[in-house]
Amino acid sequence: METPFVFGKIASDVEFTDRQYETQHLLNNFNGIVNTVLISPRRWGKSSLVCKSAELYCTQSKDNVVVFVDLFNCRSEAKFYQEFANAVIAATNSAFNDFVASALKYLSRFAPSFSASDPAGAYEFSFGIDFKDKKMTFDEILDLPQNIAKDKGLKIVVCIDEFQTIKEYDDPLDFQRTLRAHWQKHSDVSYCLYGSKRNMMIDLFSDPKNPFYKFGDMIFLQKIAKSEWIPFIVGRFRDTGKQIPEDIAAYIADRVENHPYYVQQLSQLAWFRTTDECTADIVDSAFEGLEAQLGLVFSLIIDSLTPTQIGFLQAVADGETSFTSQEVLHRYKLGSSANVKNIKNALEKKELIDILPDSITLQDPVFKHWLLTKY
């Protein structure tokens, strides 16, 4: 059976809602060859948004090309270069008659190796040499998009997900300097760099000491507003022969604080439980089901934390704001006020909290509810 909601994958077409302003904003940057930095917690819709804008960008002209690189599993420079080169060659492949020849032309010194994995021409592409001895050729890889764009008359946007990962490389500052030195000379290529670790991203792009300072247009992606979710949820129910009143659709969005991934997931669970028309009771039971399903994961998270970290999460869930006040320190057993900074950093690193200039929030609204009622 076709289900009307998606979560955990890219939302596209009818699954994609709202973000008109952001979509246009990104598209304008792509067209203007303006670099973009996009920041939000995980599962708020960065990938979906970038894909949407990329799709529009590519339909404008056959000479517009978008390259996608995901650094989630790239924990070293060598891996970065490999992913980067692979992605660029793969995305620009159609501009060439011969994939292998083009890769050899642009990456001559790497002697890359190929294997044709399917007859339709999808190549597996990998480097066969040790990167450490080949420092020189890194320049070749970083300039690859610009060189191909110039040769073939293309405009290229390179989108790099989980960009903050580069801070974990062996010599991150040196690496950033290298990247920036190359990329700022590219006149036919723009870069869209996004990531979910807010403070790491901010540090990369707004600290004057860092090479990527003022690299591009910085966008802090927000959650999707309730006013957008209501027609979306109502419409998806209707499209599949079921009903949901507007106030119940609003209730779904409320229960998970408009968190894009969870709104879709809770909608789906409620949809499954609905025969004709969805009610508040159905939403409550769907929410309980969701929480029960995640309970084990939440317990594991708790097991991995120190008592003071757990205390801090409870304080945030309770809506406390002055974490260094004697009363809060005492009530939640947080230790000294000097300790609070370390706790915050550790929890942010684990992506459990989001530290904003004026507040601290729990990233996961279901975890928050679980902490308040079940833990």
Interface contacts to Mg ion, rule CB under 5 A: 47
User: Least distance in Å: CB of 82 to ligand ADP?
Assistant: 23
Q: From Mg ion, ligand ADP, none, which one binds at residue 32 (CB under 5 to 8 Å depending on kind)? A: none
Is the distance from CB of 77 to CB of 44 less than 8 angstroms? no
Query: Exactly one of 29, 35, 36, 47 binds ligand ADP (CB under 6 A); which one?
Result: 47
Rank residues 10 and 202 by Cβ distance to ligand ADP and give the closer one: 10
Q: Which of 189, 185, 184, 167 is nearest to 176 (CA)?
A: 167
User: Least distance in Å: CB of 21 to ligand ADP?
Assistant: 12
Strands (DSSP E) found in 196-315:
217-220
Rank residues 15 and 143 by Cβ distance to ligand ADP and give the closer one: 15
| Helix, coil or strand: residue 171 | coil
Q: Find the binding residues for ligand ADP in span 4-23 (CB under 6 A).
A: 6-11, 15-19
Q: From Mg ion, ligand ADP, none, which one binds at residue 198 (CB under 5 to 8 Å depending on kind)? A: none
Q: From ligand ADP, Mg ion, none, which one binds at residue 63 (CB under 5 to 8 Å depending on kind)? A: none
How does strand 36-39 pair with strand 189-195?
parallel
Rounded distance between C-alpha atoms, residue 212 and residue 204, angstroms: 6
Residue span 264-303 as binding mask against ligand ADP, x where in contact by CB under 6 A, dash where not: x---------------------------------------
Q: How many chain residues interact with ligand ADP (CB under 6 A)?
A: 22
**Site membership for ligand ADP, residue 163 (CB under 6 A):** no
Residue 354 sits at φ, ψ, to 5 deg, of -120, 125
Q: Which of 175, 165, 215, 224 is nearest to 192 (CA)?
A: 215
Rg (CA), the chain: 23
- The residue behind tokens 């050899």 is 104
* Structure tokens belonging to residue 238: 């209707």
Stretch that binds ligand ADP, among 1-9, 126-134, 171-179, 336-344 (CB under 6 A): 1-9
